[in-house]
Amino acid sequence: MDILAHVPILVVGIPLLGAFATPLIGRAGARARNWFAIFILLLTTALAIALAVSVYQSGPRVYVLGGQSFGFTLPSGYFFPIRIILEVDGMSAFFALIIAVTTLLGAIYSTAFIAGHSGLEKYYALLLLLAAGMFGMVVTGDAFNFFVFLEITSIAATGLVAFRTGRAESSEAAFKMMVLYNIGGLFVLLAVAILYGQYGALNFAYLARLIEYSLLDVIALALFVLALALKAGAVPMHMWVPDAYPAAPAPITMVMVANTQIGLYGLYRICFTLYGLKLTPALVGWIVIILGLASIFIGVSMAVIQRDLKRLIAYSGIAQIGYMLLGVGVGLAVLGTPALNSYGLMAMKGGIFHIINHAFYEGLLFLAAGAISYRTGTRNLDELGGLAHNMRWTAIFFIIGGAAIAGLPPFNGFASKLIIYESVFKFNPILAVIALLASILTLAIYTRAFQSAFVGPQLPAYKDVREAPASMMFPMGVLAILTVLFGLFPDLVVKYLVTPAAQALVNQAQYIEAILGAGLGVK
Partner 1 sequence: MEVLRTGSGFWSALVWAATALGSFLIIWLFSRAFESGYKKGTDQTDPFLSGNPPAPGQRVTASHIYWGFVEALKGYYQPLVRAHSGIVNDYLAWAVLVGAIIFALLGGLMR
Partner 2 sequence: MIANFPYVTAILLMIFGLYAALFRRNLVKIAIGITLMESGVNLFLVSLGYRRGGIAPIYTLAPEAGERMVLPTPQALTLTSIVIGLATTAVLLALIVVIYRHYGTLDADKINKLRG
Partner 3 sequence: MSKLVRTIGWLLYAPILIFGFYVIMHGHLTPGGGFQGGAVVASGFALLIVAYGAKGAGLKERLLSAVESGGALIFVGLAFLGLGATFFYNFLAAGGGVVFNELVPSGPNPGDLNTAGTLPLMNWAVGLKVLSGLGSIVLLLALFPGEEE
| Positions in the binding site for partner 3 (CB under 8 A) | 1, 6, 9, 13, 16-17, 20-21, 23-24, 63-68, 84
Q: Which is nearer to partner 3, 84 or 114 (CB)?
A: 84
CA distance 10 to 369: 34
Which range binds partner 2 by CB under 8 A, 186-194, 261-269, 291-299, 432-440?
Answer: 186-194
CA distance 22 to 20: 6
* Per CB under 8 A, 179 contacts partner 2: yes
> Which does residue 205 bind out of partner 1, partner 2, partner 3, none, counting CB within 5 to 8 angstroms by kind?
none
503 burial (CB, 10 Å; 0-12 / 13-18 / 19+) is middle
> Which does residue 1 bind out of partner 1, partner 2, partner 3, none, counting CB within 5 to 8 angstroms by kind?
partner 3
Least distance from partner 3 to the Cβ atom of residue 67, Å: 7
Q: Which is nearer to partner 3, 15 or 285 (CB)?
A: 15
> Which does residue 168 bind out of partner 1, partner 3, partner 2, none, counting CB within 5 to 8 angstroms by kind?
partner 2
Least distance from partner 1 to the Cβ atom of residue 420, Å: 9
Torsional class of 248: left (φ above 0), alpha (ψ -120 to 50), beta (otherwise): beta
Q: Quick one: angle between helices 429-454 and 392-406, nearest 10?
A: 170
Read out DSSP for 42-87? HHHHHHHHHHHHHHHHH--EEEESSSSSSEEE-TTS-EEE-S-EEE
Q: Which is nearer to partner 1, 108 or 356 (CB)?
A: 356
Torsional class of 116: left (φ above 0), alpha (ψ -120 to 50), beta (otherwise): left
Binding track over 202-231 against partner 2, x by CB under 8 A: x-----------------------------
Among 284, 172, 161, which Cα is nearest to 220's? 284
Least distance from partner 2 to the Cβ atom of residue 192, Å: 8
Backbone angles phi, psi at 140, to 5 degrees: -70, 150
CA distance 303 to 177: 20
Give the residue ranges of DSSP H helices in 167-275.
168-199, 204-210, 215-232, 240-247, 250-268
Least distance from partner 1 to the Cβ atom of residue 470, Å: 30
Among 303, 294, 195, which Cα is nearest to 246's? 303
Q: Which is nearer to partner 1, 50 or 488 (CB)?
A: 488
> Which does residue 448 bind out of partner 3, partner 1, partner 2, none, counting CB within 5 to 8 angstroms by kind?
partner 1
* Per CB under 8 A, 233 contacts partner 2: no
CA distance 331 to 285: 8
Instruction: Select from 8, 15, 141, 159 the one that contacts partner 2 (CB under 8 A).
Output: 159
Q: Which residues contact 43 (CB under 8 A, 6 or more apart)?
A: 14
> Which does residue 148 bind out of partner 1, partner 2, partner 3, none, counting CB within 5 to 8 angstroms by kind?
partner 2
277 burial (CB, 10 Å; 0-12 / 13-18 / 19+) is exposed
Q: Which is nearer to partner 3, 172 or 422 (CB)?
A: 172
Binding track over 136-155 against partner 2, x by CB under 8 A: --------x---x--x--xx
Least distance from partner 2 to the Cβ atom of residue 247, Å: 7
Least distance from partner 2 to the Cβ atom of residue 174, Å: 6
Instruction: Select from 60, 242, 263, 385 the one that contacts partner 2 (CB under 8 A).
Output: 242
Least distance from partner 1 to the Cβ atom of residue 452, Å: 4
Q: Which residues contact 35 (CB under 8 A, 6 or more apart)?
A: none
Q: Which residues contact 433 (CB under 8 A, 6 or more apart)?
A: none
Binding track over 398-437 against partner 2, x by CB under 8 A: ----------------------------------------
Q: Which of residues 246-275 bind partner 2 (CB under 8 A)?
A: 246-247
Other beta carbons within 10 angstroms of residue 76's beta carbon come to: 7
DSSP three-state, residue 124? helix
Least distance from partner 1 to the Cβ atom of residue 131, Å: 27
Q: Which is nearer to partner 1, 124 or 240 (CB)?
A: 240
Q: Which is nearer to partner 3, 13 or 59 (CB)?
A: 13
Q: Which is nearer to partner 1, 283 or 509 (CB)?
A: 283
In whole angstroms, how far apart are CA 40 and each of 20, 466, 497? 12, 31, 25
Residue type for position 356 = I
CA distance 521 to 205: 10
> Which does residue 444 bind out of partner 3, partner 2, partner 1, none, counting CB within 5 to 8 angstroms by kind?
partner 1
Residues that bind partner 2 in the complex, under the rule CB under 8 A = 144, 148, 151, 154-155, 158-159, 162, 165, 168-169, 171-176, 178-179, 182-183, 185-186, 189-190, 192-193, 196-197, 200, 202, 242-243, 246-247, 305
